[in-house]
Amino acid sequence: MASAENQLIALLPRGERASLLAACETVRLDLGTVLCEPGEATRHVYFPNDGFISLVSKIEGEPGLEVGMVGREGMLGAQLALGVSSIPLHALVQGAGTARRVSAARFGDELSAGKALQSALNRYVYVLMAQLATSAACTRFHKVEPRLARWLLMTQDRAHSDSFHLTHEFLANMLGVRRVGITAAASDLQRHGLIRYRRGDITVVDRAGLEAAACSCYEADRRAYDATLG
C-alpha cells in the first residue's frame, strides 16, 4: 500500500474515486526516471502519493529550467482533460516514492464517465497555469536566495520529510542559475540557521524562518491551490 494518498483522488466522491482507483496500479517512482518528453503522446497518467515530479522547460543546448512541480497535491497528464495528448514539458522524478498510474486511454474513459473528475482536473489545470506563471515571474525578478528558499519549501511539502538529497549542480540547473550562486545562497540560509547542508544532504531546521526568507511566490502558489482545490 502507498504510505499516503493523492489529494486530487481524495477530492472525488466515493463512486468516482472507487472507479478511478480500480483503473490504477501502484508503481514506484525512481529518482531520475523520465516520465515524458515534450511532444510525445501521453501513455500514462500519474497521481503521486509520496513521490514528486519536476516539470522542466528545455531549450536546445541548455540543461533546462524547472517551471513546475507535481506531488500528491496533483497529477501528471492533466492536459488530457483539455483533449490534448502531449505535454510541452520534460517530466522527471525528483523525489522517489509511489504513484497511482493509469493508461491514458483508460483515464479518458474515466473522464467521460466522471463529472467530478473532469471538474477537479479543470481546476487543477488552472492551478498549474498559476504555478507556471508565478515561476516565470519569479525567475525574472527575484534573487537567488529567496528563490532557493521557495524551492526548498516546495520540495519539503512534497517530500513529506525535513531532509532530502540535492546537489549544488542539480539545484543550479533547476533554478537556472550558476552553481556559485546556489553555493552562496545555501551558505547564507545555513548561516542563519534555516537549513543544514552538507555534501548534498539538506535538512530544513527552521521551517518558519525559511518561509520568511522565501519570496512571495511560495505563498502565492499555496493561496492559488487552496482557493481552487482546498
DSSP string computed for 36-65: E-TTSBP-EEEEESS-EEEEEE--TTS--E
Query: What's the total number of domains in the chain?
Result: 2
Lookup: cell for 120:
477537479
Q: How confident is the model at residue 92 (pLDDT cuts 50, 70, 90)?
A: very high
% the chain with pLDDT above 90: 83
Confidence of residue 2 (pLDDT cuts 50, 70, 90): very low
- What number of residues does the chain have? 230
Distance between CA atoms of 50 and 26, rounded to whole angstroms?
Answer: 11
**Average pLDDT over the chain, rounded to whole?**
92
DSSP-assigned beta bridge partners for residue 30: none
Nearest to 175 by CA among 152, 198, 191, 207: 152
Average pLDDT over residues 196-217: 94
In a domain, 176, yes or no: yes
Output the nine-digit C-alpha cell for 9.
Answer: 483522488
pLDDT at 59 over 50: yes
| E strand or H helix at 34 | strand 34-36
> What are the CB-based long-range contacts (under 8 Å, 24+) for 222-227?
224/126, 224/127, 224/130, 224/131, 224/134, 225/73, 225/127
Averaged over 113-124, what is the pLDDT?
93
Q: Is 226 part of a structural domain of the chain?
A: no
Residue 25 and residue 105 in one domain:
yes
Per residue in 127-186, pLDDT (tens digit) is 999 999 999 999 999 999 999 999 999 999 998 889 988 888 889 988 989 999 999 999
Tell which of 118, 138, 158 closes a domain: 138
Q: Domain check: are 47 and 132 in the same one?
A: yes
Query: Percent of the chain scored above 70 by pLDDT?
Result: 98
Residues 106 and 158 in one domain: no
CB atoms within 10 A of CB 96: 16
End-to-end Cα spacing for the chain: 25
186 and 119 both lie in a single domain: no
Task: Look at residue 1 in the predicted model and tell me its pLDDT.
Answer: 36
Which set of grid coordinates corresponds to residue 88? 510541452
Which residue, 114, 138, 162, sits at the end of a domain? 138
**Domain housing 67:** 7-138
Neighbours of 193 (CB within 10 A): 10
pLDDT value for 58? 85
